[in-house]
Chains A and B, each alone.
Chain A
């Protein structure tokens, strides 16, 4: 099997699995689980084979053209280089873990067949995005991911939150996709091809006519997909979906697609210094804002969601300083440890019967109930906080090192301001990240109060997947010396300055949070709070759905809880109220978009009812009046009829004669 065949099979297998799953889901329930797991597993294995065969060698480019498609051809093109091969491996491994985890997590769900098929379809689309060498084909995968995300976020569509979240995810990402499409068109119009290699070649050779415009248009789509400010608001709400979906889509893969596209098209963005500055500012705002918001969240998954937003900010920051190696390295390690965190969160929610940190902080012994999740998540949180020697430390140091390198302005085409922006916000975010990671760990595993309810042992497949993902989370950093061969060749090893600075700041954040927690935890006993779902036999998915549905009624808010024992409340001070609701960005959107749209809808309804309908009613009334008038003429008197008839024919005859003789015409 050649490399090309293998690479084609990688996206194709999950797609076939999805189609078969959708077709057989009803008629043959026994095949659903193998059809969900095996194609994804095979795709992951093949992706590893592709990565091994590809190695760090020159990029593989294969293309075939099915049919002529107008002035600019669209090719079925494969482009495999180090970036694509490694990201495909991560996607395949995480998707496999998620599929296996889901067999336990959603074991009693009646909609499991369609769920599994959609996850397979989603995996296939992501692999297509990763492997393709043509922007149009990439867009196809991009949009399939969008619609799959819509369906999967709305998996618990019985709950209001899930319905609203799925719609929001769809609409907000579409808001970014429209400019993205125009950006692709503009790029193709400038360079005359949709092939990425062709575009990059053309950019390197001739440059672009409108580099800033194209870069900003593409950036809008990236911001929507990768949940960057100001289009990130859909991601925290998307936590209303099942936990494995959050792990797959909203941590490891889909949100990484935007970063991946920027990495692939980095020379296009680098052609415009303004776009790089915009990218840097966007990354900085996203990082810091999401770090603050994560400190204020009560829902464990929302904390992780804001954390995801922030880590994606790191990746875009790395891209803004022109180092796509660092960005993709962080993408890989983040994909591993964030998927682990989400899957662990699913276990914890099942074990605790709630998704509220306030409630978890009031139950003791949760760590003993779920030892696997405790140990793996501890390591993953350390990786998230960038504590050496775990994966997150190396990748984050690579980002900070690249930013520090860019501050000198030595990087060609990258303004020094972008470097400073990314570096300062990155360090600030390191502090915040350590803070919320510590807060999460303390509130979940060091709770004091009544004993945690016994929900029975966790399904084996779920714990097993945690340990599978634990390996890369802990050890991926060791790959740092070898990765430059696969990427652009720039060193990814941590530099001394940023390492010391970053680790020190992270430690400070963790310690401050710990001290605050010691201070506030005394208050916890005084304010009893929390609602816990006790249902030992229920599937994990079911208890999570119930937890999501009951969070807003119990705590008054889907995001926060009025818990005075929360260290985040003391740390953030007056900011806490705003951070809990994501700095009122939703309210701003309501004012900017929702209300004008509703007003326009009301206006249209008014116009339809009062203006258009008036014409319609008039069109009915006028003939009725005319009919009434004509009916009055119908007297039954034959002589009147005859008189009118003759008068009419007389007029016609006179007119005809006048016309014929030409005197009247």
Chain B
């Protein structure tokens, strides 16, 4: 099989995921797009492993590891998203702008309620 097929497919999947990460508004959809990107990488790893006939099967082992790490990432990521959602009432990424400079825009009451909680999380 021509190597270009899996490689090009992987590239296209990766860029699709990239578009999703940049364009999607909902944090969970962004996480999905990240999964797409990870899978594109996995596809590449497997294809090259098969092509090179690696005796160590480094590509496949790494794929397995990536899958595992992705599972862990999705768990933590979802937990964070849920936390944000509970604190903010929204999981829209482009509304989480507290790091922007103009402090006057954010709702002060919202931030007052937010800050003790985040501190508490940091200390816990």
Binding site for B on A (CB under 8 A): 631, 634-639, 642-643, 646
Contact = CB atoms under 8 A, between A and B. Distances in A.
Interface string B86-109: 000000011011111100000000
Contacts of B94: 637, 639
Contacts of B22: 639, 642-643, 646
A634 B100 contact: yes
A59 B98 CA distance: 97
27 contacts: A631-B101, A634-B100, A634-B101, A635-B97, A635-B100, A636-B96, A636-B97, A636-B98, A636-B99, A636-B100, A636-B101, A637-B93, A637-B94, A637-B97, A637-B100, A638-B93, A638-B96, A639-B21, A639-B22, A639-B23, A639-B93, A639-B94, A642-B21, A642-B22, A643-B22, A646-B18, A646-B22
Contacts of B97: 635-637
A637 B24 CA distance: 12
Nearest to B25: A639
A514 B94 CA distance: 110
A643 to B, nearest CB: 5
A634 B105 CA distance: 14
Interface residues of B, number: 12
Interface string B5-42: 00000000000001001110000000000000000000
A642 B20 CA distance: 12
B97 to A, nearest CB: 3
A637 to B, nearest CB: 5
Contacts of A635: 97, 100
A447 B21 CA distance: 112
Contacts, number: 27
Contacts of B96: 636, 638
A637 B100 CA distance: 8
A642 B94 CA distance: 12
Interface of B: 18, 21-23, 93-94, 96-101
A477 to B, nearest CB: 97
Nearest to A646: B18
A631 B100 CA distance: 9
Contacts of B98: 636
Given A636-B101, A643-B22, 5 more contacts: A631-B101, A637-B94, A639-B93, A639-B94, A642-B21
Contacts of B93: 637-639
Contacts of A631: 101
A569 to B, nearest CB: 83
Contacts of A634: 100-101
Contacts of A637: 93-94, 97, 100
A637 B27 CA distance: 13
B80 to A, nearest CB: 13
Contacts of A642: 21-22
B21 to A, nearest CB: 7
A42 B21 CA distance: 102
Nearest to A642: B22
Contacts of B18: 646
Contacts of A643: 22
A412 B116 CA distance: 110
Contacts of A636: 96-101
